[in-house]
Amino acid sequence: MLDKNKVRIGFIYIVIFFFSISLKAKSTPDSLKKVSLVQKDSILVDTYFNLFKYYFKKEHQPDSMLKYAQLSYSISEKNQLKGRLVKSKRGVVLSYMELQQVDIAKKNLNEGLDLAKKYNNVSEIVEMNNLFGFIYGKENELDKSAYYYLNSAKEYEKIKDYPNLAFTYKNVIVIFTLLDQFPKILRYTNKTLELLPKINQKENPEIVSGIYSSAAQHYLYVGEKKNKKSLIDSSLIFADSCLKVALRFDIKQGLSDAYYILALDLLKRKEYKKSESYFYKALEDRSNIMERAVFNIYSSLVNLKIKKEEYSEAKLFIDTCKSLPISKELDGPLMIAELEYYLYKGIGDSAKALIAHENLMKETKIILENAQNKLINDLETKYQSELKEEKIAKLNQQQEIDRLQIRSLFGFAGVTILAIIVIIFFYRQSTIKSKLKVIETEQRLNRARMDPHFFFNALSSLQGLVNDDKRKKEASDYVSNFSKIMRQSLESTYIETLSIEDEIDFLKNYLELQKLRTGNKFNYNFVYDKDLEINELLIPSMILQPFIENSIEHGFVNKEQGGFITIGFATKENNIVVSIVDNGIGLGSNTKNKNHTSRAIQIIKDRLYLLNQKHKTNATFVVEENLSGGTKVEIVLPILN
């Protein structure tokens, strides 16, 4: 009888063991709780951890998650179950994150990372780094977030875990997207695409679909921001690849992403009917799509309806956006206010458009104030922590002094020091902001002083083209280029610096416009070393255009054909040297040219003076006769971060 009981008990333990450690177990929480009553040590830890996972993935109950994660951890610690100890600590971290107790989550996460390093548990080191990346990302500390995600990527590269490496790269791409660092967005998108041959599509279809989806979204984003058709075309190819994989393996999120990107392209092409059908396709299985994706799709439908002047339907979609919980998080309120502004502006209801605009400004202000409050709270927390440590140290050294007296003394000193720090902080912030505001305003005014002359010439030329029946096609091209120039020059009012690459794009549009206007009386060329990082190096916006305009309007005044301008970029002794050389009439033979050049020189002098004041640099320029005829301008600018 005794032997039969042993066999029966042994069989029960074997069943329980396989039941509890199965990662795909379909256990109910009640059955797991029942078997936990007869389990011990490692088996019991696994059961508690499975209960944690159940409440995390199925029921989403943070309190229950924390309860079973802590039980799993305490038993692992008691019995020195190293692997399970680290895993359980990660469960505790996730539970506190779900409970919105971020500081406690960070404390446990640091402890978990130390344990993982102590036991050389590579997989858990990576998991902990990813959690740090996620937490700092949510707190908008993007540099720290990127640091931890890239640490994870290094570990995944070592162990050749390519699916997880691809997933981590996608997180890094999101960070660089938030920072608008276009070269890094493309770099890590391409690194992710390079992993495709190393990933088994049948085993990881969601990862493969996600890689194509991420590439499509980010190529489209950069392509539209940089106005590069080649990137937009590549985006559509990736969207099509994503769609094929998602259809083959029935991946709902992949299908939604692909249809959404294709719909955006159709919307841009004004194929409204087809675009709308693709937006609806993207929403077909809404329950299996991330909430943020749903919000973005409905937001795009609002834009589509506004373009079609179907304002009542646009209003319904805005109401749908408002009903989503994410509309109240992050930039959700801002996006809602912006959608309402364009809706009421389209309807012609100026009163409601004004209210929507005020809401937009209000939400922007709230975000700014929250950021400021966070800074102040961080300073205060750090200060109080240091003060507390100092107080404890002095109490230990001077036990003979009355405790109450010391507490009062430190309390008074703490309040005084805190008050001084706060006053100094706000005074310095106010002074710095005032100085920067003055400099920024003056720079904008100087840029604005350049623009009217250019716009007057452009509009005059446009009038001449429109009145000439034979040149109406040219007029259409002229209007298109002029709209780009106007947008870029208006944007420059708010942007102090931009990359050399962006400046070249602007100048090419401007020069093509002038060539069209003047009947191709001149040509131009841009010269720079192939190793020059034109997408990284920054120069002041609209700093070159006045000199180029002078060459066209005055240097080539006597030329019907054969004018030429060379614009060169180089680096020398930690400076950027820009040269503008034309083969025009030079400085000495045209009084109007001299007067115009003097005005341009004074404006540039003012701007460079302000630049030097702000950045403590020594930017200069020289205008002189070119030895071979014409005019040469050389501008020396600092390399700005």
Helices (H), 527-590: 545-550
pLDDT tens, 53-90?
Answer: 888 776 678 888 888 888 889 888 888 888 888 888 88
Higher pLDDT, 286 or 209: 209
| pLDDT value at residue 5 | 47
| pLDDT value at residue 370 | 46
pLDDT tier at 21, thresholds 50, 70, 90:
very low
Question: 563-572 and 538-540: which strand pairing?
Answer: unpaired
Cα(142)–Cα(126) distance, integer angstroms: 18
Once rounded to an integer, what is the mean pLDDT over residues 475-479?
Answer: 69
Helices 350-397 and 332-347: crossing angle, nearest 10°? 170
Residues in CB range of 259: below 8 A, 6 or more apart: 243, 278, 279, 281, 282
12 in helix, strand or coil? helix
> For the CA atoms of 279, 282, 287, 288, what is the dihedral angle to 10 degrees?
-160
Helices (H), 227-349: 229-249, 252-268, 272-282, 291-307, 311-323, 332-347
Check if the beta carbon of residue 584 is closer than 8 Å to that of residue 630.
yes
| pLDDT value at residue 376 | 34
Cα(146)–Cα(150) distance, integer angstroms: 6
CA 374 distance to own-chain centroid: 20
Question: What would the two tokens of residue 479 be?
Answer: 């209007």
Once rounded to an integer, what is the mean pLDDT over residues 183-205?
Answer: 91
Please report where in the chains the tokens 């690459």 appear, as a residue: 501
pLDDT tens, 378-400?
Answer: 433 443 344 344 444 455 555 55
Once rounded to an integer, what is the mean pLDDT over residues 456-464?
Answer: 64
| pLDDT value at residue 8 | 43
Across the chain, what does the average pLDDT equal?
A: 77
CA 179 distance to own-chain centroid: 4
Higher pLDDT, 62 or 241: 241
Q: With 50 as the cut, is the pLDDT of residue 7 above it?
A: no
Domain boundaries, the chain: 1-120, 488-638
Check if the beta carbon of residue 98 is closer than 8 Å to that of residue 72.
no
Residue 317: other Cβ atoms inside 10 A: 23
Residue 418: other Cβ atoms inside 10 A: 15
| pLDDT value at residue 366 | 55
pLDDT tens, 542-590?
Answer: 888 888 888 888 888 888 888 999 999 999 888 999 999 999 887 755 5
CATH number for the region 1-120 comes to 1.25.40
Q: With 60 as the cut, is the pLDDT of residue 448 above it?
A: no
Cα(346)–Cα(341) distance, integer angstroms: 9
Check if the beta carbon of residue 152 is closer than 8 Å to that of residue 133.
yes
Cα(528)–Cα(478) distance, integer angstroms: 28
Whole-number CA gyration radius for the chain: 32
Pick the CATH number of 488-638 from 3.30.420.40, 3.30.565.10, 3.30.2090.10, 3.60.40.10: 3.30.565.10
Cα(587)–Cα(344) distance, integer angstroms: 54
| pLDDT value at residue 460 | 65
pLDDT tier at 319, thresholds 50, 70, 90:
very high
Cα(450)–Cα(490) distance, integer angstroms: 11
pLDDT tier at 280, thresholds 50, 70, 90:
very high
Helices (H), 398-492: 403-466, 472-492
Q: With 90 as the cut, is the pLDDT of residue 194 above it?
A: yes
Question: What would the two tokens of residue 151 be?
Answer: 């640490």
- DSSP codes, 158-175: HHT-HHHHHHHHHHHHHH
Give CA separation, 523 vs 507, 560, 566, 597, in Å.
Answer: 13, 12, 9, 21
| Highest mean pLDDT of the ranges 274-283, 371-380, 418-427, 461-470 | 274-283
Cα(123)–Cα(149) distance, integer angstroms: 14
| pLDDT value at residue 216 | 92
Q: Is the pTM of this model over 0.95?
A: no
Partnered with residue 632 across adjacent β-strands are 581, 624
pLDDT tens, 27-60?
Answer: 456 555 554 444 456 788 888 888 888 887 766 7
Q: What angle do CA 68, 70, 76 make, to 5 degrees?
A: 105
Cα(631)–Cα(184) distance, integer angstroms: 39
211 closest CA partner among 185, 235, 257, 242 = 242
Secondary structure (H, E, C), 332-388: HHHHHHHHHHHHHHHHCCHHHHHHHHHHHHHHHHHHHHHHHHHHHHHHHHHHHHHHH
